[in-house]
Structure 1
Amino acid sequence: MPLLGLLGGLVVAGLAGCGRDTASAETGATPSVERVMVVGASTIAPLLSEMAKEYEKTHPDIRIEVQAGGSSRGIMDVRQGVAKLGMVSRGLKPDEQDLQHILIARDGVGLILHKTNPVTRLSKDQVVGIYTGKIKNWKQLGGQDLPITVVSKAEGRSTLEIFSNYFGVPYKEISAHVIIGDNQQGIQTVAGSPAAIGYVSIGSAEYESQQDAAIRLVQMDDQIPTTAAVASGQYAISRELNLIFKPPLSDRVRDFVAFTQSEAAAGLVTKQYFVPVARP
């Protein structure tokens, strides 16, 4: 994913068009601009930022602010009315059915190593061993004689929850040396350490590796972590990327939500290395 400075960043569109300004000058009225806060998963935030920028080009009466902070924060802020829309990088749980959601894309969670690490494949048991502290050195896995630096996500992050559920390792049993928040931090940490291992959004990892980040996704058993594998349904650790809200929504916000389902938005999904959702 691109480095967008999303924590606290703003996504602001251009000013209103000349025709609207002229009308306002004639009537003496000030154009009404609705400001909309979108908060949640760092995986989705870059995509929503691009969608917001594209939408605002033709809708000068709305300004959309996108802030990362994790899926749990997105749910909390929408419930409390702090944010109008939330971003959740997983399916909603039974106790979250008070919220409505729109599926905007699909993604997967993959393991990343430094690109110089000679290990090309890991088993599920080996990953569990690494993250529970039972496997401590890469030479135990056919790699170099280097102590493994375990990078994991902070509590409350959907990526951590998906990782924990798939590998059967509760959060409190993970033996991590580095705790990170968003995907970008995880990628930067692993890129800066030849002995590190982490898990991040596949879309984020593919994008950053194309930008020459010193990382690579690693195969686990027969699971090859690519967006193509997610799209085909062959990758097991896949997930939904959802936009959540509590009705009622204003006409402007409802129209933006509809835009996230459009062909134009699907093009942005692909550019961000996520998997578009098939529409009827």
Structure 2
Amino acid sequence: MKKLVKISALLVTSFMMLSSVTYGASKVTAKIDGSPINFDVSPVVEKGTTLVPVKFIAEGLGGIVTTNGNTVKIESADKQIELTIGSKNATVNGQVKTLETAAKTVNGRTLVPLRFISEAFGAKVDFNKSTNNIDITYFSDMKGTLKIGGSTTVQPIAQQVADILNKRNTGLSISVAGGGSGAGIKGAGDGTFNIGLSSRELKDTEKGLHEVIIGKDAIAVVVSKNNPLKSLTKQQIADVFSGKIKNWKEIGGKDAAIFIQTRETGSGTLAAFEELAMAPLTKDAIPGYATPHNSTQLLLQAVAKNENAIGFVSMGYLDNTVHGVNVGGVAATQSNALSGKYPYVRPLMLVTKGVPSGIAAKYINYIRSPKGQQILVSEDYLPIN
């Protein structure tokens, strides 16, 4: 497993820890699919309704929470939920719902009805009075078949999530294939895949599809560890990969030809690199004499073996056989990508034909949940939050 930078502190991982909360005079535990929740503000019980911090429930089920004044919005793969603090009216995908108890603010945290939020996602909620435990079932109640494929950058994340959910749900079968972002987007559109994997933005001709961002990736320009080159300007990078600069001595290196290594047509990494690094500075594309590779691993091997080679890879794939070139003096690190200093950053997306529903939506929500984001971070990509 690649380990470059530890950024898991950015994730909401505390929902995996056990916590007892006050429920009347008794202690209550709450769990999502068997994983205990740790609320940083104790739930409040009003007229038999348990209100909990919205962040822990919504994000635990794969939702993204935003607040604007008294308005709380929760976005998941298939749900748009909106509440107003102090109001019993809420909406789920535009349909008005009436709450038994209004959302409220306690110690700087927004508390919402636990059952309402959970059931709005489509989860089951059970309260066991004898044990004072609230069980929320969502990702362990999946049945059916999902076919997923596309970007080889997103594929390892997609496969790990598929393995987890397949193991957890005996009636579920999820298969994951590669093929590149183009194949994933096309497959989502023609029905070959229920979910397409993409590591590039959709083109104008593909805009009819539905896209969900699950994280981000940074692209590093790489040379062999035996190459003394440390830094290039953005213009130099564009000129090297367009073939305008053909010899290392033109950019401070030795007198030797530059061997460009690239990805195959249809690769999301190639499309993103051309858009981020080349399009703003040159009208020329990567020349036909560049050596194409069908995977990131093959490209890395080619660069590592030839000190006169140069290529580009997802930053998460950097290893000790190559080194990432500084871009305009900015090091190719995850922290610089997160801060916005590093220029070559792209989205990682799941694509569907229309708004996803059923197990497809649950699959996407799992990747966007804290546990799914931990997988993404373990592969050295950037989380949503």
TM over 0.5: yes
CA distance in 1, matches of 2:289, 2:234: 17
Q: How many Å separate the matches in 1 of 2:379 and 2:373? A: 10
The structure that is strand-richer by fraction is 2
Offset at residue 52 of structure 1 (A): 1.4
Tell me which of 191, 200, 207 is aligned to 1:90. Answer: 200
CA RMSD of aligned residues (A): 2.2
Q: Is the 8 A contact 2:214 2:350 kept in 1?
A: yes
Separation in structure 2 between the aligned mates of residue 74 and residue 245 of structure 1, nearest angstrom = 10
Within 2, Cα distance between the matches of 1:258 and 1:103?
11
Distance 1:270 1:264, change over 3 A: same
- Cα deviation for residue 248 of structure 1 reads 6.5
TM-score scaled by length of structure 2: 0.59
Distance (Å, rounded) in 2 between the aligned partners of 1:250 and 1:164: 33
Range moving further from structure 2, 128-137 or 150-159: 128-137
Answer with 1 or 2: which has the greater Rg: 2
* Unpaired runs of at least 5, structure 2: 3-141
Q: Is the 8 A contact 2:269 2:314 kept in 1?
A: yes
| 2:265 is aligned with 1:155 | yes
Structure 2 residue corresponding to 1:243, chosen from 330, 337, 350: 350
- Residues in 1 aligned to 2:283 and 2:268: alpha-carbon distance in whole angstroms: 13
Q: How does 1:166-245 map to 2 (within 5 A)?
A: 166-168=277-279, 169=282, 172=285, 174=287, 176-205=289-318, 209=319, 212=320, 214-245=321-352
Q: Provide TM-score, normalisation by structure 1.
A: 0.79
Q: Which runs of 5+ in 1 are unaligned?
A: 3-31
* CA shift for structure 1 position 176: 3.9
Aligned 1:1-280 pairs, distance under 5 A: 34-165=144-275, 166-168=277-279, 169=282, 172=285, 174=287, 176-205=289-318, 209=319, 212=320, 214-247=321-354, 249=356, 251-278=358-385
The structural deviation recorded for 1:73 is 0.8
Q: In structure 1, give the amino acid aligned to 2:290.
A: H
Larger helix proportion of the pair: 1
Q: Which has the higher contact order (CA 8 A, sep 6+)?
A: 1
State the SS of the aligned residue for 1:260.
Answer: helix
Check the 8 A contact 1:132/1:175 in 2, yes or no. Answer: no
Question: Quick one: distance in 2 between partners of 1:35 and 1:186?
Answer: 34
Q: Could you say if the C-alpha distance between residues 248 and 135 of structure 1 is closer, same or farther in structure 2, counting changes exceeding 3 Å?
A: closer
Equivalent residue number for residue 58 of structure 2: none
- Is the 1:106–1:239 contact (alpha carbons within 8 Å) kept by the matching residues of 2? yes
Q: What is the one-letter code of the residue matched to 1:45?
A: Q
Residue 265 of structure 1 deviates from its aligned partner by 0.5
| Aligned AA (2:312) | Y
Inter-partner Cα distance in structure 2 for 1:60 and 1:276 = 29
Q: Secondary structure at the match of 2:218?
A: strand
- Alpha-carbon separation, structure 1, partners of 2:204 and 2:235: 30
Deviation, structure 1 residue 155: 2.2
Deviation (angstroms), 1:185: 1.9
Query: 1:136 deviation in Å?
Result: 2.3
1:107, 1:239 within 8 Å by CA — same for their partners in 2? yes
- The answer to whether the Cα contact below 8 Å between 2:278 and 2:285 also exists between their aligned partners in 1 is no
The alpha carbon displacement at 1:175 in A equals 5.0
